[in-house]
């Protein structure tokens, strides 16, 4: 079953497995506002659906994603990141190939498992470019500290082999096989006990330290939900109309 997200992000559900795809291969899957909001909506749908696991991958053969679109950057990159822009209590397996740069790696590092094609190259060049969203700093809670600092600060490429050695990915497969390999793992998870999977993931997420940027993004997401709620709109209308608001708790 296909679920309509938008033109740049698709969601397909088969046998309790959601396949979420970034479809912007003509721009090497660069992350613009539509991609980021599409990913956020996909994570939100996953949480509310009967699917038990998600596989995240990207179209084309050159790049999983080259990161933020410098010509059309997203307003809030964190909104597309699983467990930050939206709650994701269900496991997410990333299938990565080609270039995975900047903000795209932030999205991948927040997935629970990663299958990488042998042509994958990870890169985080923001120290050399002069800007950062800060979410990358969560890498120190997910891979060894000194390797994380090397990756975050030097801007040098990590190929698939180095990424495996560093603990950034779980498995390397031949280019073109990453989606099938990730889906095989997803099938195991889809047939596992949901309550156990949910409990283990929840405990793991509570055990991992959060960087200030990560904690700040989660707080901002919660505040935006209040601002954009029906009660928020009712409060503003009531103030303008000089009447007592009728709040409904939603």
Residue 168 CA to residue 152 CA, distance in Å, equals 13
* CB contact set of 194 (below 8 Å; sequence gap of 6+): 52
Instruction: Please tell me the predicted confidence (pLDDT) of residue 115.
Output: 98
The model's pLDDT over 216-243, given as tens digits with 9 standing for 90+, comes to: 888 887 887 888 889 889 889 988 988 8
The rounded mean pLDDT for the chain is: 95
More confident residue, 80 or 215: 80
Helix pair 230-241, 212-227: axis angle to 10 deg? 50
* CB contact set of 156 (below 8 Å; sequence gap of 6+): 123, 150
> 3-class secondary structure for 185-209?
HHHHHHCCCHHHHHHHHHHHHHHCC
Instruction: Please tell me the predicted confidence (pLDDT) of residue 14.
Output: 97
Evaluate whether the domain defined by 2-241 bears CATH number 2.40.30.10.
no
Range 151-159 average pLDDT: 97
The model's pLDDT over 200-210, given as tens digits with 9 standing for 90+, comes to: 999 999 999 88
The model's pLDDT over 92-128, given as tens digits with 9 standing for 90+, comes to: 999 999 999 999 999 999 999 999 999 999 999 999 9
- Whether the pTM exceeds 0.75: the reply is yes
Per-domain residue ranges for the chain?
A: 2-241
Gyration radius of the chain's alpha carbons: 19
């Amino acid at each position: 079953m296909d679920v309509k997200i938008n033109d740049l992000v698709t969601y397909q559900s088969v046998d309790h497995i959601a396949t979420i795809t970034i479809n912007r291969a003509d721009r090497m899957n660069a992350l613009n506002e539509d991609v980021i909001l599409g990913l956020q909506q996909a994570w939100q749908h996953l949480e509310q659906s009967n699917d038990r696991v998600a596989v995240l991958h990207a179209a084309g053969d050159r790049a999983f994603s080259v990161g933020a679109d410098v010509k059309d950057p997203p307003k809030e990159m964190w909104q597309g990141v699983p467990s930050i822009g939206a709650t994701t209590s269900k496991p997410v397996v990333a299938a990565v190939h080609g270039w995975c740069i900047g903000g795209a790696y932030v999205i991948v590092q927040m997935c629970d498992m990663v299958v990488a094609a042998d042509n994958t190259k990870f890169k985080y060049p923001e120290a050399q470019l002069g800007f950062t969203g800060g979410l990358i700093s969560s890498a120190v809670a997910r891979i060894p500290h000194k390797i994380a600092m090397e990756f975050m600060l030097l801007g040098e490429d990590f190929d698939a082999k180095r990424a495996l050695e560093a603990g950034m990915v779980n498995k390397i497969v031949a280019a073109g096989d990453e989606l099938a390999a990730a889906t095989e793992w997803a099938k195991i998870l889809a047939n596992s006990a949901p309550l156990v999977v949910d409990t283990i993931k929840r405990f793991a997420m509570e055990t991992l330290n959060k960087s200030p940027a990560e904690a700040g993004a989660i707080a901002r997401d919660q505040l935006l939900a209040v601002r954009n709620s029906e009660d928020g709109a009712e409060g503003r209308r009531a103030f303008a109309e000089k009447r007592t608001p009728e709040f409904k708790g939603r």
